[in-house]
Structure 1
Amino acid sequence: MIDFRGKSDVAGLYITYWSLRDPLCQTQSLAYLRELTKLGHEFALITFEQPKYALDGEQAAAARKELAEGGIHWYPLRYHKRFSLLATGFDCLCGVVAGARLVFRHRARVAHSRASIPAAMGLVLSRLCRIKFLYDADSALSEEYADIGHWRRDGLAFKVTAWFESLARQSASSVVFLTEQLRRDLSHELNARAPVTVIPCCVDTNKFRFDAGARARRRSELGLGDEKLFVYVGKIGSWYLIDETFEFFRTARQEIGAARLLILTGDAPEAFHEVAERCGVGQEAYDVRHAGHDEVVEWLSASDAGLALIRQVSSKRGSSPVKVGEYLATGLPVVITSGIGDYSALIEKERLGAVVDSLTPAEYLESTERLLSLWAEGASLRDRCRGAAETHASLDAVGRVRYQAVYEQLL
């Protein structure tokens, strides 16, 4: 049950469909809010809590206290899953009811929604409460779900979500996109009076930086000598091409000799073992590990290249994969498929890795040769990758600065 008794003025009511402990909430919502609170803004935060991220009473109270001390007033709602479309609709209704009470209690001046489902709540609240609406668009959920076959384009779920996304773009007081590509593609749908800002998924570059000591420790833990270590951070399935990732690694290993693949994931290892066996990669050649967010940077420091083979579909023009920014910030060259947000073009242009155009052995071999050439540059490659992250994806230099400008305009 939400306690509405606390009362203080806040700049915005921030609505996300992520759970508080979800890594995406931590890095792509809370990280930005914490930066903005340093500038004197306070926020009310609505999250939707899934069972796998559940906090017990003591943990929730501690989290609420810690956030409130930092100027973020947290109001968790329950996430519903059964009967998907109806459950999402019910969650939206709960978000609007709770949000309206919070706007009244905290005198919020902006409804700030992150991604498509919260956008429906933010849009309704902005009209109901007569406050400004910041549509933090992320990528287009309707297009993503259609691209992977989860929704039919002539189905109700797709049509309703796409309609809300379009309405949000046309109605918002300000719009944030993740990529320049998506901004250009959707410029015809935007409210001509609403400022549009591009803010990619940013990385805390003070935290994600190469650590030579961690590299030695973690490589020793894996029993590595001079072998090249490829790393993949993330899930299995959906937009992530895990079969192709193993196939790329198999080709690269044949070309460069001794090499290992490290997979950092929250998913069950068995799913990756099945893919590896299917692709002809023995268990001696790869490791699957679960790593806390604070440990990821150590494993990236131990690695030599980051893998981000992502499904090449039209919706990915609006994608800004967090893992790519983390790879670059730690000084890793990146192997990425073409057409992924702004990153594919950036990696090609600034020689930050290899861009895979077609998912074929010949293309994998060409990308491996590209990596060999880049690795020959030594420390200058690491410095170049790090510099790109600081310029294009830094939480401090990019995220905070651009969100600050957005809020200055809205308030």
Structure 2
Amino acid sequence: MRILFLGYWGLHDGLTTSTVFPHLRILQQRPDVAAVRLVTIERGTDAQAELVFAPGFAADKISFKPLRSRPGRNVILNKIEDFTRFPQELINQVAEFKPDFILARGAPAGALAYLVWKKTKTPFYVESFEPHADYMLESGVWRRYDPRYLFQRHWEQKQKQLARGLMPVAENYRDQLIAEGVPATQIITVPCSVSLSAFAPDPARRSQVRQQLGFAVDALVGIYVGKFGDIYYDEEAFDLFKAAAAHFGPRFRLIVLTPDPAAEVRAKLAAVGLGDNHSFVTKAPHAEVPAYLAAADFAFAPIRPAACRRFCSPIKVGEYWASGLPVLLTAGVGDDSDIIEREGGGAIFTLVQPESVPAAIQRIAAIVEQPNYRQLIIGLAARHRSIQRAEQAYENFFGGLLPA
């Protein structure tokens, strides 16, 4: 079979590296897959750059052809163009590549796949299917009468009706989709997968990174990976860091890996008493994240609460677990909050109940005192975030689709 794999991020985006590439490798290994074309959406400087597809893929099986935004246009115009110019470019790619179906990563990519279906009737599947329109609305990024919200919400309804298969990232959303009338046979939950081998704790890397950062052997190190604002807490996250520092005392250190401006983040950390002697801030490529996680003892996931958060699967939580780190997580996030309360692997807090914050930090402190806590938490990643979940879903959806 021939598959057009449609992502919604650039080739060098961390989400492409962490969520798209592992699934391309699964498809590459399938004997019934003759060819896969990866399509990304390139913006900014990468839109004009000569892009070199990552090594590790068989050139005779995986090809690459990006969609490129026009230069010198603002973000809103670029987003509008995503759904005006890009569908026709994808239709041209379908005519040239002749895929048996489109596999879209995420609901915005699924919207493009639907628009191609309208013209060509090319079947499509959507993995990492989430209520993206509601995410953006509840995060305050879009307004209820914003055309982007109205169109995306409409296109998500069409995906539910017309996709050959949906792969939500949380059982909570699978249940919701079934309640909305989507046939259960067309839905398989595939949480955001992580590589257990890539993120496995490494004592040598732990020691090396701590030495580089000037952290003592007995330092108690927390880590946060990601942006501030939008679906994540901003000022509240720094208050959370401050509360952890107050609990753990002088030996507490913090690592922040973020694409946000480092100077701004450092200033906010200094304002809560975590200056350069007690914290480290950098923007790290995804390949370097496991080493920093190895240097940590626990992790933060301060995700802003909203009704639709029950349907998400933050990749960072899976990576934290695969590194053996307990997670300080907001209540009501995907299946992960329920997993933590049921099986361990961290502690849950909610700012609506301020007393839950010190209680959650105390829970983290108790976990990191256990001698074997890392291996127990890695077990959570193996059960709930293994790449085998995606392999199984592909086999169920594609296994009998075409002869090998």
Match of 1:168 among 117, 138, 159: 159
Instruction: Assess if the C-alpha contact under 8 Å between 2:298 and 2:368 holds in 1.
Output: no
Distance 1:181 1:166 in 2: 18
Residue pairs, 1:176-187, within 5 angstroms: 176-187=167-178
Tell me which stretches of 4 or more aligned residues in structure 1 moved more than 6 Å.
none
Deviations 1:241-300 (A, max 9, x none): 132232222222222222011101222112212322443433322110222222211111
Instruction: Give, in angstroms, the shift of residue 20 of structure 1.
Output: 0.8
Which amino acid is 2:276 matched to?
Answer: Q
Alignment partners' CA distance in 2, 1:369 and 1:334: 12
Q: Kindly provide the amino acid, as one letter, of the partner of residue 333 in structure 1.
A: P
Matched, 1:374 2:364: no
Listed as ranges, the matches of 1:31-180 within 5 Å are 31-40=22-31, 41=33, 42-53=35-46, 56-57=49-50, 60=51, 62-63=52-53, 67=57, 69=59, 71-79=61-69, 82=73, 86-180=77-171
Q: Is the 8 A contact 1:44 1:73 kept in 2?
A: yes
Aligned-partner Cα distance in 2 for 1:199–1:409: 19
How many Å separate the matches in 1 of 2:48 and 2:395?
31
- TM-score, length basis structure 2: 0.91
Q: How far apart are residue 92 of structure 1 and its match?
A: 2.5
Instruction: Decide whether the 8 Å contact of 1:12 with 1:108 is kept in 2.
Output: yes
Residue 20 in structure 1 maps to residue 11 in structure 2: yes
More deviation in 354-363 or 325-334?
Answer: 354-363
Picking from 326, 343, 346, the partner of 2:336 is 343
Tell me the TM-score normalised to structure 1 length.
0.90
Q: How many pairs are equivalent? A: 397
- 2 CA distance for matches of 1:187 and 1:85? 34
Distance 1:296 1:151, change over 3 A: same
| Alpha carbons 1:49, 1:79 under 8 Å: kept | yes
Q: Quote how far apart the aligned CAs of 1:301 are.
A: 0.7
- Residues 85 and 188 of structure 1: is their aligned pair in 2 closer, same or farther, counting only changes over 3 Å? farther
Q: State the distance in 2 between where 1:356 and 1:17 align.
A: 32
Give matches, 1:227-266, under 5 Å.
227-257=219-249, 258-266=251-259
1:184-219 residue CA offsets vs partner (Å, 9 max, x unmatched): 123233443851011111111121100011111111
Evaluate the alpha carbon distance shift between residue 276 and residue 160 of structure 1 in structure 2; reply closer, same or farther with a 3 A threshold: same
Structure 2 CA distance for partners of 1:407 and 1:256, relative to 1, 3 Å: same
Pairing partner for 1:363 from 356, 367, 378: 356
What amino acid is the match of 2:234? I
Matched, 1:307 2:264: no
CA offsets 1:87-139 (integer angstroms, 9 cap, x no match): 33422333322222322322211122222222222113234323322122532
The 2-side partners of 1:112 and 1:69 are apart by: 19
Structure 2 residue corresponding to 1:332, chosen from 325, 330, 333 = 325
Q: Greater helix percent: which structure?
A: 1
Maintained 8 Å contact 2:104/2:113: yes
How far apart are the structure 2 equivalents of 1:187 and 1:193? 6
Deviation at residue 11 of structure 1 after TM alignment: 2.4
Does the residue aligned with 2:277 lie in a helix, a strand or coil? Answer: helix
More off after superposition, 368-377 vs 244-253: 244-253
1-structure distance, mates of 2:184, 2:236: 44
| Matches of 1:130 and 1:144, distance apart in 2 | 28
RMSD over aligned Cα, in angstroms? 2.2
How many Å separate the matches in 1 of 2:220 and 2:352? 22
SS in 2 for 1:162: helix
Offset at 1:237? 1.5
Distance 1:363 1:65 in 2: 46
Question: Deviations 1:287-328 (Å, cap 9, x if unpaired)?
Answer: 102222222111111100011010001121121111111110
